[in-house]
Amino acid sequence: MGRRLMAKASVLFVCMGNICRSPLAEGAFRVEAERLGLEVTVDSAGTGDWHRGDPPDPRAIAVARRNGVDIGGLKARQVKPDDFRTFTHIYALDHDNLRGLMRVAPPDSTAEVGLLLDLVEGHRGRAVADPYYGDDAGFDVTWSDVVLAAQALARRLAHEGWSRS
């Protein structure tokens, strides 16, 4: 539905604070979208507001950098009702955030809203690993999750015709 109203796809990744999982998903997807030549806008946000304006967690920045992606310039923000009309696709990184998104979605939402790992065959219903309270190795697991999802999403959008002409 949103595709008919917009010139290009737009994707928003959402976790709790927008400092770990969603900025990693944003970075991984930017790379994959560019690789496939997708015409897409990409952003990330959190359902909570306590990290608003903060950069990603240093461990998230480090794992992205080790994988050739720079997310250091990103700043956390909170999801807002306009996001549901601005973005064609909104993906929560876990079930709690998906429920939070559904609670704040306005009645005139045009975005497709779903769980990110539902896009990956064999991962339906799974949450992206939350590394925040763990050690650095947890960020590698999260990176692997978001890369798989970024690849699946980019392939899907390319198949749906969102590629540059």
Catalytic residues: 15, 21, 130
**34 closest CA partner among 68, 78, 85, 83:** 68
Q: Where are the alpha helices (DSSP H) in 21-94?
A: 21-36, 58-66, 83-86
Q: Could you tell me which residues are beta bridge partners of residue 113?
A: 90
In angstroms, what CA-CA distances link 15 with 18, 78, 89, 131, 149?
6, 10, 14, 12, 14
Residue 57 identity:
D
